[in-house]
Amino acid sequence: MREQRRHRATARLPGARERDFEAYVAGAAGRLLHAATLLTTEHPGRAPRAQALLTAALGATYARWDRLHGEDPYDLTRRELATRFARAAWRFHRPRGGVLSPLTPPERLVVVLRLYEGVAEEQAAALLGLPVERVRATCTRSVAVLRRTPAARDAARDAARATGKAGAP
């Protein structure tokens, strides 16, 4: 009860909302931008579409900032990022040379949510409106495709050499 009163009191301070949001963005923007870059398959240094996608997702989070009521803002921004990418996925289908460029936009979305963001299969399925089995199958198939790419084979070979494992590919 005291914390609710304190929260209401700090919410009324001039600039508190902006400071809180700026602190959130400072902590989360790097990881979210990397996720957006993976989705759009742009190179990390030059990712205008990923930056636009993240800006729109952060704008939606800021619009709902005062109504979060204990909801995780990172989760909200991640959902917003995934939703906005899914709506505009046809724009991001052309490979741009990123790590996930061999995948289709829905496959990239599943891989980023499951493997990069660590979202559980059930949560990813609910977010995407798909059955859990489909999310699992898409993730498995996507990882198999990525393992067949030359860059993935080179990375696996280099990692095996670095660890000193014999019989590496």
pLDDT tens digits, one per residue of 25-81 = 999 999 999 999 988 888 878 888 899 999 999 999 999 998 888 889 999 999 999
Cα–Cα nearest to 79, from 129, 45, 19, 42:
129
Dist CA 81 CA 50 (whole Å): 10
pTM of the model: 0.70
The residues near 127 (Cβ < 8 Å, ≥ 6 apart) are 79, 82, 83, 113, 119
Question: 151 or 30: which carries more pLDDT confidence?
Answer: 30
